[in-house]
Amino acid sequence: MFEYVMTEKMPSRSHCPINYALESFGDKWTLLIIRDLMFNGKQSYGELLTSDEKISTNILADRLKRLEDLDIVAKGADASNRTKVIYSLTPKGRDLLPIMLELTEWSGKYDAQTEAPKSFLKHLENDKQRLIEIIRSGWDAS
């Protein structure tokens, strides 16, 4: 039987930067995982399974693997608990923050159903750059 060679890269459709972003996380699930790691304090496989959108186990495993290959997410062991697996964002993953903030701002402006509080969105609009710097310095400190 033919074994699929994982090291083969998907052929990319073009070298456009928008297309690169789409091929990295242009599906219905990947950005939700990144959101949970970035904003919702989730670190473990089990925690990532519990989001509102109800990702299934096989999809989550597949996406985490992809994100590791792309060096957006890193997999490590918990220092205090050797058996526990911890996922975290790499620098490349953390650099998605401005994108996440713009997505949040746009949806907050146009989706009446959004759960993001208006006060947060207002703050975002005014102090986006400072917000980015604050969160980044928080990471550097840790």
Residues engaged in binding its own copies (CB under 8 A): 12-24, 26-28, 31-32, 35, 51-54, 92, 95-96, 98-100, 102-111, 113-116
Smallest separation, CB 19 to DNA (Å): 12
Report the site for DNA in 3-32 (rule: CB under 7 A): 27-29
Positions of E strands within the chain: 73-77, 85-89
Residue 92 CB, nearest approach to DNA (Å): 20
Helical (H) or strand (E) element with 126: helix 118-141
Residue 64, interface with DNA (CB under 7 A)? Answer: yes
Handedness of CA 49, 50, 51, 53 (dihedral sign): positive
- With binding defined as CB under 7 A, does residue 75 bind DNA? yes
d(CA 16, CA 121): 30
| Closer residue to its own copies in complex, CB, 78/95 | 95
What is the number of alpha carbons within 13 Å of residue 64 lying toward its C-beta?
22
**What is the nearest approach in angstroms of DNA to the Cβ of residue 45?**
4
**Cα 124 from Cα 92, distance rounded (Å):** 22
Asked if residue 108 lies in contact with residue 116, where contact means CB atoms within 8 angstroms, the answer is: yes
- Stretch binding DNA (CB under 7 A), from 55-63, 92-100, 113-121, 132-140: 55-63
141 and 122 Cβ atoms separated by less than 8 Å: no
| Residue 69 near DNA by CB under 7 A | no
- Which CB, 31 or 86, lies closer to its own copies? 31
Task: Give residues in contact with DNA (CB under 7 A).
Answer: 27-29, 44-47, 54-59, 61, 64-65, 75, 84-85, 87
